[in-house]
Amino acid sequence: MALVSALTAFGALAAPPNLIVILTDDQGYHDVGFNGCRDIPTPNLDSIATNGVKFTSGYVSSPLSSPSRAGLLTGRYQERFGYERDPEWPPNNPDIGLPLTETTLADTLGQAGYATGMIGKWHLGNTLAMHPLKRGFAEFFGFLGAVHAYLPGEATVGDTRKAKMGDVMWQQSIMRNYEPVNTTNYLTDEFSEEAVRFVARHKNQPFFLLLAYNAPNGPLEAPEKYLKRFPEIQGAHRRRYAAMVCAVDEGVGMVLAELRKEGLEERTLVVYLSASGGALDANSSDNYPLRGSKDYPWEGGWRVPFAMQWPGHLPKGLVYDQPVLSLDIYATITAMTEPAVKPAVPMDGVNLVPYLTGLKPDAPHDTIFMRMPDRGATAIRCGDYKLVTPGADDAAELFNVVQDVAESKNLAAENPALARELEKKQGVWSRQMLYSNSLGSIEHHAPQPIDTEPDH
């Protein structure tokens, strides 16, 4: 698409676009066709990149599932509000989860007149106060915790019909809004079918749908209808993983088909990404050519498969190499609400549309940050370079992640000045953040005054 036509289409936008965020869980960077996967066809996920933008340096704000989701839904580094660990499971602790002080994207878009729905894995708090319907979503179909069985009859809590609001069984059940339900289909298919129904119900009003698959996170389970498509994959774990990704891809295809059927493609911004990098040994995912995995500060932990489409408004087939963040989704959509949202708190995401259409030729972010207090790990990417401290007792290592995406050549010894400069930037940023305790609730260490301007 020529730049002028993209800008003309954007300028002529009659109404705020719908937003669908498709989130997978622990999917490998290489486990999608548009990033080079060959053993798992993903034509529908690939179509998002083909019809829009493929981000080769798309990052989430944490290599851990729950903090990553917190960042995505707030548009802020989760360290700003002390949420940087996957919460443990004390089911009646009201302090465990996304802090109630935070405004979610669903809160904001709901106030702007959007229908809001969340389908799938929540993992941002298990109590009633933390429930998606208390955090801006008007509809919910999914589960509150971190994992759930996929096959009917293998639910993690047994007979969900006996669940009562507030007990552990309720919190682990598949629920429609507040009520536990029994599912009879493969769970990924249940979520996909529910997403199609959501789009159909709300086709005549702006809507925001968070379709948060728990696949391909464990347990590795898939029905024969998907498994039989991969007879050439010999490893049992990789074969089940492939079947799980295949089920996600088919479900995404159903949602995209519904958009086309209802004439909503050009009115809907669709974003696809994984909540963290592949878990490798845990689910046989593949992060090639990146180093490391989920739970680690290397690129394989937080650089994820990431694509976005908005036909008629974003360039088609664009490969975008500058670093972008999951936090940018919030800023991108809220810039197009009427009136545009003016947050009362510091936001770390930026509106990507001007960068993708060429209105802004510079990079969306000068610097991006990551911190893992349990490991004592930190990472900072600034331009082509990344400084990573793998653990509390480890020396910082410097890499040019454009020339050396696998982080194989440590440049700290030959460029000590740059390493010191990045280490200083990381320290300044870190001192502006809060810290959380081992359960995920905040330890109130007062941060230093912060720069409220986004880094662009």
Neighbours of 376 (CB within 10 A): 13
User: What is the chain's mean pLDDT, rounded?
Assistant: 89
Q: Quick one: pLDDT at residue 453?
A: 37
Phi first, then psi: what are they for 141, rounded to 5°? Answer: -140, 110
Domain boundary among 294, 328, 356: 356
- The verdict on 306 and 394 lying in the same domain is no
> What's the pLDDT score for residue 90?
59
Rounded to the nearest angstrom, the gap between the alpha carbon of residue 179 and the centroid of all alpha carbons in its chain is 26
* Boundary residue ending a domain (327, 356, 385): 356
Is the domain of 305 the same as that of 332? yes
Tens of pLDDT along 316-360?
999 999 999 999 999 999 999 887 777 788 899 999 999 999 999
87 and 10 share a domain?
yes
Whether 450 is in a domain gets the answer: no
Q: Which two three-digit tokens encode residue 87?
A: 């919460």
Q: Say which CATH number the domain at 414 has.
A: 3.30.1120.10
Question: Is residue 127's pLDDT more than 90?
Answer: no
Residue 452 lies in a domain: no
Of these ranges, 149-158, 430-439, 441-450, the one predicted with the greatest mean pLDDT is 430-439
Structure tokens at 24: 């997978």
pLDDT score of 218: 93
As given in the structure block, the two tokens for residue 167 are 């007990």
Say how far apart CA 401 and CA 275 lie, in whole Å: 21
Distance between CA atoms of 78 and 327, rounded to whole angstroms?
Answer: 10
CA dist 175 and 190 (Å) reads: 12
Q: Are residues 164 and 89 in the same domain?
A: yes
Phi and psi based region of residue 17 (left: phi greater than 0; alpha: psi -120 to 50; beta: remaining): beta
Q: What is the pTM of this model?
A: 0.91
Same domain, 323 and 376: no
361 and 319 in contact (C-beta within 8 Å)? no
10 domain residue, yes or no: yes
Q: Is the dihedral of CA 124, 102, 381, 319 positive or negative?
A: positive
pLDDT at 89: 60
Looking at the structure, tell me whether residues 153 and 279 fall in a common domain: yes
Burial, 295: exposed, middle or buried (Cβ in 10 Å; 0-12, 13-18, 19+)?
buried
Give me the domain span that covers residue 379: 367-443
Which DSSP symbol is given to 113?
T
Helix (H) or strand (E) holding 379: strand 377-382
Site of tokens 């903090």: 67
Rounded CA-CA distance 162/203 in Å is 35
Q: Are residues 197 and 64 in the same domain?
A: yes
The CATH number that applies at residue 13 is: 3.40.720.10
Confidence of residue 142 (pLDDT cuts 50, 70, 90): very high
pLDDT of the residue at 439: 38
In a domain? residue 448? no
Predicted confidence (pLDDT) per residue in 348-393, tens digit: 999 999 999 999 999 999 999 999 998 999 999 999 999 999 999 9
Rounded Cα distance between 264 and 267, Å, is 5
Residue 175 belongs to a domain: yes
Q: Which 8-state DSSP code applies to residue 278?
A: -
pLDDT, position 126: 86
For residue 257, pLDDT over 90 is answered with yes
Q: Per-residue pLDDT for 51 more than 60? A: yes
Together in a domain, 378 and 351: no
Q: Is the peptide bond before 346 cis (omega within 30 degrees of 0)?
A: no
Is the pLDDT reported for residue 447 higher than 70? no
| Count of Cβ atoms closer than 10 Å to residue 224 Cβ | 8
Same domain, yes or no: 254 and 123: yes
Identify the band that residue 2 occupies on the pLDDT scale cut at 50, 70 and 90: very low
Q: Is residue 451 situated within a structural domain? A: no
Q: How high is the pLDDT of residue 12?
A: 52
Which whole number is the average pLDDT over 420-431? 96
Query: Does any domain span residue 390?
Result: yes
pLDDT digits (tens, 9 = 90+) for 58-79: 999 999 999 999 999 999 999 9
The answer on 316 and 207 residing in a single domain is yes
Per-residue pLDDT at 445: 36
Last residue in a domain, options 356, 378, 409: 356
Residues 387 and 276 placed together within one structural domain of the fold: no
Q: Please indicate, yes or no, whether residues 152 and 205 belong to a single structural domain of this protein.
A: yes
Phi, psi of 55 (to 5 degrees): -95, 115
Q: Give the dihedral sign, CA 227/251/249/123.
A: negative
Residue 241 located in a structural domain? yes
Considering its fold, how many domains does the chain have in total? 2
Dihedral sign, Cα of residue 227, residue 229, residue 235, residue 240: negative
Whole-number pLDDT of residue 96: 84
402-417 mean pLDDT = 98
SS3 category, 110: helix
